[in-house]
Structure 1
Amino acid sequence: MVTAILGALGAFAAWFSVIFVKDIATHKGQLEDNSWTKVFGIGFLTNFLDTLGIGSFAPTTALLRGFKQVKDRVIPGTLNVSCTLPVIAEAFIFITVINVDIITLISMLSAATIGAWVGAGVVSKLPEKNVQIVMGVALLITAFLMAAGQLGWMPGGGSALNESFDGVKNNLIYESMNIDGKILGVPIGVTGIKLVIAVFVNFILGALMTAGIGLYAPCMALVYLLGMSPRVAFPIMMGSCSFLMPVASMKFVKEGAYNRRAAIGITIGGLMGVFIAAYIVKSLPLTILTYLVIAVILYTSITMLIAAFKSKEKNVNLELE
């Protein structure tokens, strides 16, 4: 079944690549005036961090805005289109190396993909100030979830069995793992009402992803809250994004609601960042990096909300005049 999932990912990658390249070729004389160096560097750095589980949408948004590379109105589309191929590469890696219950995995991936299909058609046509408000609030929530995880406020993973165990027990799917030198059974999937909750929430997260709201942090929180091993968050969240992003990105490409030049640079830099992070970097102190990213996310959230409300005040003043 894992082979079938990877085969489907390959098909999605090929399908998206053809449409993406065709759109770029059609508009090759109308590309924006972004700096190739800046967008390539942004893609490399943020997707490098993304592969380590930190997430790429929030820092990419912050850097694109900080270096004035993309207008706020097309940030959601640019994020989805440019990060699609790098995220598919991540999914190949983590679905291959980390075990997760196949029913849980397929159910959550499918829910996120359907959610993205429903959400992209609406989000791509939203007014700029609406996009800013949605992204600003969502980034603020994401920062809180990441900080809560770092400070130990979030419950992390299910309780391991006091014995080595592979299989189903107490309606949970377990796998034997080495924990502090002991081989214990740890949940790698969910069943029953927990599976229903997982599917429903991942559907919502898939729809919100098309607004430029990263799925990683809330999906990781969901995995923890449902009692699964923190490790399985990686194939679930990266697999979810890898299936939903091509679907969402197709609509953004069709609407022309993305920055083409930035998408090219971020995609190329992002792919390089993913493979270097996955195959060369074996260990990295992520605590300081994570706090830095949280600070960037908070800054971006605040600046977006300020920009949105300034725009709203400006419109009110114009109406009064």
Structure 2
Amino acid sequence: MIALLVAVPTLLLIGLLVNYLYYIPQTNKQHIAAGKDALWNNGGYGFEFSSVTTPGFIISMILVVMILVFTAFLIKHSAKRIVIDRETNTAKVASIGFIAAFFDMMGVGSFASGLAMFKAGNVIKDDKMTPGTLNMSFCAPIMMEASFLVGAISVDILTLVVLVVAAVIGSYIGASLVDKFNAQTIKLVMGSALFIAGIVMILTTPQVALIGAAGGANGIVGWKWAVAVPGFLLIGVLMSFGVGSYAPSILLLSLLGMGLIYIAPIMTCTSAFLMPVTSYKFYKDNNYLPKTSLTTMLGAIFGSTIAFLFFYAGLQGSGVMSADGVAYKSIVKWLTIAVMFYSSITMFIQYFQNRKTAGEKAEAMKKRNKRKSLTKVNKQDLTPTINQQYEKTLDRYSNDLDTKSIVEQENIPMDEWVKNPNSEEDLVSDSVDKVLKDIDTSKPNPKRKTKVEKPEEKKKTN
């Protein structure tokens, strides 16, 4: 935690100093040399405030405050819960954060790559904790990326603000729709959409170029607003369903003629202004792993900063790789295509796996032997039959409540389950249903015995 408290402000300071004292002035000189509009009038090394640079600087400083507040909040409120996943491998998890954030700066979403590495490394055992852990882990690093890029790249501020607001509105709309759609249908539709989008993206690459993705514009103009705003509303909705925004943002905006270099701050700012809100919800619900989140975040902030220093300030600032060049476009687009197909194939696999599992459960329900009514059992066989039905009932109730533990904690005798031996109904099952409804599972009684009494013991409990 101390390392995180020191690393976040230190890396922020290094990144911002390099950004405003070196990268942005170098970009201004390159603009002047290429005959483009200058960011400010002189071409010197000193940063100057102008109508182009001031809005980006203001947004960058807002993000800096958000980063510091979020980091302090996360550390403070995770300290007492860090025992939950204290066995987490620090080196492995920090490495995952570093790699995911490094490529996130280049346009490959950290959620997709981070999730893949978490699964491959068996880092998160409970899938319910995965979304919250990802949000907590990459919230600060993505805000850090946005603070660097929004100041460094002269994207049209109106375009940036309008599209970010559209995505935020879309995410709130999506949040209200999530529970109204079948998860299987969503996986199938989104997997298909990403697969088609990947094919379209291939056709726009410099190597194929069958579809003209006019490059270079730093904002949206004219009729393109009618496509861009609804498009980002939809992207915001998709984010609520767990679909990353990077790939569809690159596809949409590149087809609308924006240069890839100008798309980067829009993508990162969209996520940066959404993630603190969603992360707070996961915190309130305790749906995240604290040590895993903090350790991943530590690696990720180094990954984001080093990627910015190497890729933007290093290669582009020195002129080795032009932001408008074929090399840059190729790297970003092909990486994005890889993520699109990976996400699509993953969704298809999950869809068919879930479908297979559902089919197996339905088949098992059909094949399940109906229990024999106790009135049809000979008296001498009554106890073995109750024992047999008891075991079958426990198998039937295999769920998150752990019925066996509940039955043992409540010390429910098996002969008590049969309330009406003259009934033809499935008595054992029905009585367990009633017992489960009467038990407050959130407040187990530790004073109760844990042994399940058998009928022959003839022992009564309160």
Tell me which interval the TM-score lies in, with the shorter structure as reference length: 0.7 to 0.9
Residue 156, structure 1, aligned to residue 213, structure 2: yes
Q: Which among 166, 169, 176 is matched to residue 114 of structure 1?
A: 169
Greater share of strand residues, 1 or 2?
1
Q: Which amino acid aligns with 1:149?
A: M
**What SS is found at the alignment partner of 1:27?**
helix
How do 1:249-260 residues align onto structure 2 when only pairs under 5 Å count? 249-260=279-290
> Greater Rg, structure 1 or structure 2?
2
How do 1:116-195 residues align onto structure 2 when only pairs under 5 Å count? 116-120=171-175, 130=183, 134=186, 138=190, 141-142=193-194, 144-152=196-204, 155-157=212-214, 186-195=216-225
What TM-score, normalized to structure 2?
Answer: 0.55
Residue 88, structure 1, aligned to residue 143, structure 2: yes
Q: Distance in 1 between matches of 2:189 and 2:127?
A: 15
Q: Which amino acid aligns with 1:301?
A: M
Q: CA deviation at 1:137?
A: 5.1
Would you say the 8 A contact 1:94–1:235 is kept in 2?
A: yes
How do 1:89-104 residues align onto structure 2 when only pairs under 5 Å count? 89-104=144-159
CA distances 1:231-267 after superposition (whole Å, capped 9, x unpaired): 2111111111111111222222222233333322221
**What SS is found at the alignment partner of 2:122?**
coil
Q: Distance in 1 between matches of 2:296 and 2:93?
A: 5
Q: Which amino acid aligns with 2:241?
A: A
1:210–1:291 Cα change, 3 Å: closer
Q: CA deviation at 1:3?
A: 2.5
Residue 35, structure 1, aligned to residue 89, structure 2: yes
Residue 62, structure 1, aligned to residue 92, structure 2: no
Matched pairs, number: 291
CA distances 1:119-169 after superposition (whole Å, capped 9, x unpaired): 45775x899x93x764575356435434532343654235xxxxxxxxxxx
Q: Distance in 2 between matches of 1:118 and 1:21?
A: 31
Residue 21, structure 1, aligned to residue 51, structure 2: no
Identity in percent: 29
Unaligned runs of 5+ in 1: 159-185
Q: Distance in 2 between matches of 1:105 and 1:262?
A: 32
Q: CA deviation at 1:89?
A: 1.3
Q: Distance in 2 between matches of 1:16 and 1:135?
A: 32
Q: Which amino acid aligns with 1:10?
A: V
Q: Which among 88, 94, 107 is matched to residue 53 of structure 1?
A: 107
What residue in structure 2 maps to residue 232 of structure 1? 262
Residue 309, structure 1, aligned to residue 361, structure 2: no
**What SS is found at the alignment partner of 1:213?**
coil
1:272–1:137 Cα change, 3 Å: farther
Q: Which amino acid aligns with 1:250?
A: Y
Q: Which among 307, 311, 320 is matched to residue 277 of structure 1?
A: 307
1:50–1:146 Cα change, 3 Å: farther
Q: Which amino acid aligns with 1:47?
A: A
1:7–1:121 Cα change, 3 Å: farther
Q: CA deviation at 1:33?
A: 4.3
What residue in structure 2 maps to residue 162 of structure 1? none
Q: Which amino acid aligns with 2:95?
A: G
Q: Distance in 2 between matches of 1:119 and 1:89?
A: 26
Q: Which amino acid aligns with 2:151?
A: T
Q: CA deviation at 1:105?
A: 0.7
Runs of 4+ in structure 1 displaced over 6 angstroms? none
What TM-score, normalized to structure 1?
Answer: 0.77
Residue 74, structure 1, aligned to residue 129, structure 2: yes
1:75–1:138 Cα change, 3 Å: farther
What residue in structure 2 maps to residue 261 of structure 1? 291
**What SS is found at the alignment partner of 2:218?**
strand
CA distances 1:177-213 after superposition (whole Å, capped 9, x unpaired): xxxxxxxxx4222245532432332233223224331
Cα RMSD between the aligned structures?
A: 3.1
**What SS is found at the alignment partner of 2:104?**
helix
Would you say the 8 A contact 1:85–1:267 is kept in 2?
A: yes
Would you say the 8 A contact 1:76–1:211 is kept in 2?
A: no
